[in-house]
A and B are shown apart, each in its own frame.
Chain A
Amino acid sequence: MEFLSDIASLINSTLRISTPLVFAAMAGIFAERSGVIDFSLEGKMLMAAFVAAVGSYYLGNPWLGLLLAIIVCVCLSMLHGFASVTHKGDQVVSCVAINILIIGLTTALAAAWFGQAGLTPTLNEDQRFLEIHLPFADALRDIPVIGTLYSDILSGHYVFVYLAYLSVPLVFWIVFKTSFGLRLRAVGENPSAVDTAGINVFTMRYKALAINGVLIAFAGAHLSTAVNANFFREMSAGRGYLALAAMIFGKWHPKTALIACLLFGFTDALQIRLQGVELPAIGEIPVQLIQALPYILTVVLLAGFVGKAIAPNAIGQPYIKER
C-alpha cells in the first residue's frame, strides 16, 4: 500500500513537473515546423512568469495575469519574427538576444517596482491559481487502484496541468488534420512550394509564431502563479532548453515530444524523491548528481539513443524570394 502511494505521488509530480515542458515543446513545434528556430522558449517562459506574477498582483486576478503574459509573449515572438523572418537575420542570434534581454529585464524591473532584485511580492489565494479537486475525489480515494488513480493522480492539479495535456491532441489535430497544419508543415519544409501555391510565406511564419507565443505564456504562468506564488530570478531554470531538447527528441511531433517531456519530468520527480534516500548497495547519492540527472539524460538521449532527428528541411533559413 505504501509502495502504491509512493508510485502515485511520483506519477502525480511527474505530471506537474512536465507541464511547462509540454507547453513549451508544443510552442516549439509550431515555430520550428514553420521553419523558424526557437531558442527563445527559455526567455519567453521567464518573461511570462514575470508578467503573470506582476499582472496577477496588480489586477488581483490570475486569469488577467495570464492574459497579460500571453500578450507580452506574442509580442516577443513577433519581435523574433521581425528580426528573423522579415529582416532575415540569424534566428539563433535573435533568440539569444531575447533570452539575454529578458534575464536582465525581469531582474531590473522587479528591483524598480518592488525594491527587490528579481523577486515579486507573494501572491495571495485570490491572486493565484489553486489546485483543482475533481468531484468525489475524497469519497473515492479508498477504492483500490481506481481510487488512487482518480484521487491521487488525476485530481488535485492546477488548471495548467490539465490544459497542457489537452493541448497535445489539439496540436496534433491542428498540425496533421487541418489545412493550416498542412501549410505550416510545408512552409518549414519548402517555403518556395508554399509561395508558388499562392500562400504568403511570411504571414504563415508569423501566424505560427503567434501561436507559439500563446502556448509559451501558459508555461510561464504555471511557474509563477500556480506552483509558486511569486516570481523569482531565473525561475525558468533551463526548462525552455529542456523542452526544446524534448521536441527534437520527439522529432517535431506532438505525441513523441509529449513522451520526451514526461520522461524528463519523471527523472526530475525521481531526483526529488531520491534526495537523501539511502539506496540499497549504493548508499546515498550526492544531491548534485541527482539534480543533474535530467540534464545528463538529455545529453545521453540526444547524443546516442534517438537516432538521427530529421529537422524540417528549411529550418533556420530565412525565405529569400528574389535573388
Chain B
Amino acid sequence: MVSPILELTDINKSFGHVQANKNINLKINKGTIHGIIGENGAGKSTLMSIVFGLYQANSGSIKINGKEINLRSPRDSIINGIGMVHQHFMLVENFTVLENIILGFEGETVFGEKLQKAKEDLEKLCKTYNFNIDLDATISDLSVGFRQRVEILKSLYRGAEILILDEPTGVLTPQEVDELFKILRSLKDEGKTIVLITHKLIEIMDLTSEVSVMRQGEMVGHTKTEDTSKEQLAEMMVGRSVLLRVDKKEIKKGETIFKVNNLSVKDDLDVTRVKDVNLEICSGEILGIAGVTGNGQTELLEALSGIRKVESGSIELFGEKISDQNNFLNPRMLKEKGLAHVPEDRQRMGLISDFKAYENLIFGYHDQEPYSKSAILNNKEITEYSNKVMQEYDVRPNSPNLITSNFSGGNQQKIILSRELNENPKVLLVGQPTRGVDIGAIEFIHQRLIDMRDKGAAILLASVELDEILSLSDRIIVMFDGKIVGEKENKNVTDRELGLLMAGVA
C-alpha cells in the first residue's frame, strides 16, 4: 500500500453560520490524478483553499508525506510543495508572464542575476512540458488556455509536487481541454500528484484514477474510478438519482415564427461582431448556437432581444418586421409581442443582485396588474405570487425576502427563468442557461426548456457547453468570428465535428 502524499483528517470550516466543510477526511496517493466532485457549493473549493493555506480550518489536521503541517498562508503550502490553479486565474493582467511567475518568489531585492536565472529555468520547464509560452508576453494578450498554462507553469516553478486544479475546463474549448488533459497526464507520468476539482462527470471518468464525492459540505464517498459509473457518481453528488440524458419527445415543428435576415451587429468598441447572419426558428423547435465565447453569440442575443442596435439587416416576428437599423423595438415592446430573454450574464443583466428575491421575480412586470395598482406595489399579491412560483420552480431556500445574491447560481437562474417563462412567451432567447449551475438544477432547467418547446415556443439557445447544445437542440448552428459557419440537424452529429467548426478549422 502506497502511503498518501496528502492526508486530511476531520477538517471543519465554517463561514459565519454556514458550515462549508464538516469533518472531512481525505487521502490522496502520490502520483495519481484524484478527482473531487460535487455540486456548486458542496465545499470542494473551500476544502482545497484550506489545503492551499488561503483559508484556515477551524479544526482538523493536514499531513503531507505523513508529517503534520500547519498551513497559515499560501506561502506555507507552496513551500510544502502544493500548487493551485484557481478557477479565476490569479494573474496580474498587465504584467508579463515572467513577472507573474516570479511574484512573491523573486529571490532578490533588486532585479538582476536571479531574474535572468529564473528566465532560463522557466525556458527549460517550458521545453520539458512543451508549453510554448513566450515569457515576455503580457497576460492580457494571451488566450484563456494559455493563461491556464501560465498558472500551471507558475506552480511548477515554485516546486509543486501536488497540483490542485479548481474547475479547470469551464472556460476552455474541447480542443483546449484535450491539450490540458495531455499536460496533466504527462505531469502524472513525471510523478506529480494532481487533484482535479470539477462538477463534470465526464472529466472524472476520462482522467482520474480515484474519486471523492462531496455533498453539502460533507465527504460522502471515495472510490476507484474504474469501479464506478457516471450515474452512480451523479446519484452520490445529488443524493438522489438524476437523469443525465434529457427526455425529449419527437419534434412537432410548426410554422416559422422568428426570422433573422442578413443581420450585422457592432459591439461597444465599434467592432462588427455579428456578420451577415441568417436564421429561422419554427414553433416547437430549439435552435442551438454552439461556439467559443466571444464569437458574436453575446452580441447576437443582445440585438435579438432589443438591447443592442442593429447595424444592418432585419428581424421578423410572425412575419412582421420588428427591427432593422432604423427602427427597433425596445425589450419592453418585444416582451409585449411575446419574446422573452434569459440573458447570458445572470449577475449583470438578469438580476439586480442586491434586490430581494420577490423583487427580481416580478421585475419588468412590477408596474402591471396584479403586482401594482395605480403606481403602488401590491405587496400581498406579490408575496403570494412569489411563494407560489418559488415552490413551483423549486427555488431553495423558499424565502422571497432573501437578498438575491445569497441564492446559489442555480437558484438565481431559476428565479430568472420563472419570471421569463411565466408569461408563456412565443419566442425564448436563452444564453448560457446553466453556467455555474449545479447538476440537480441543470436537470430542472433543461426540463423546463423542453416543456416550453413542447408547448410550441420557438427557442434560441446559446451555450458554450457542447453537451447542453447536443442534448437540447433540434438543430444546431455554429458561430465563428461572427458568422454562421455550419448548420446541422441534431442527428448523428458529434462533439468532435462541432469542435472543429467552433475552432474555425472545418
- A residues adjacent to B (C-beta < 8 A): 177-180, 182-183, 185-186, 189-190, 192-200, 313, 321-323
Contact = CB atoms under 8 A, between A and B. Distances in A.
14 contacts: A182-B106, A185-B92, A186-B95, A189-B93, A192-B90, A193-B91, A194-B104, A196-B74, A196-B84, A197-B103, A198-B53, A198-B74, A198-B77, A199-B103
Contact of B92 (A186, A199, A200): A186
A200 B104 CA distance: 10
B103 A183 contact: yes
Binding site secondary structure of chain A: helix
Q: How large is the interface on B (under 10, 10 to 19, 20 to 34, 35 or more residues)?
A: 20 to 34
Interface of B: 15, 52-55, 73-78, 84, 86, 88, 90-95, 99-100, 102-106, 108-111
B92 A322 contact: no
B109 A180 contact: yes
Contacts of B104: 183, 194, 197-199
A190 B75 CA distance: 17
A66 B103 CA distance: 35
A198 B90 contact: no
A195 B54 contact: yes
Contacts of A321: 54-55
A54 to B, nearest CB: 37
Contacts of B92: 185-186, 189-190, 193
A223 B418 CA distance: 65
A104 to B, nearest CB: 36
A322 B91 CA distance: 19
B23 to A, nearest CB: 20
Nearest to B114: A179
A179 B91 contact: no
Contacts of B78: 197-198
Contacts of B100: 193
Contacts of A193: 90-92, 100, 103
Given A195-B54, A195-B74, A200-B73, A189 B103 contact: no
Listed from nearest, the 7 A-B pairs whose CB atoms lie closest are A198-B75, A197-B104, A179-B106, A193-B90, A196-B90, A198-B74, A189-B92
Contact of A313 (B15, B84, B93, B105): B93
B103 A323 contact: no
Contacts of B106: 179, 182
A116 B179 CA distance: 76
A322 B111 contact: no
Given A183-B103, A195-B54, A323-B15, A178 B94 contact: no
B55 A322 contact: yes
A186 B91 CA distance: 9
Given A183-B103, A189-B94, A193-B90, A178 B74 contact: no
A251 B266 CA distance: 30
Contact of B90 (A178, A190, A200): A190
Contacts of A197: 74, 78, 90, 103-105
Nearest to B154: A197
A69 B132 CA distance: 53
A322 B84 CA distance: 17
Nearest to A186: B92
A179 B100 CA distance: 12
B13 to A, nearest CB: 10
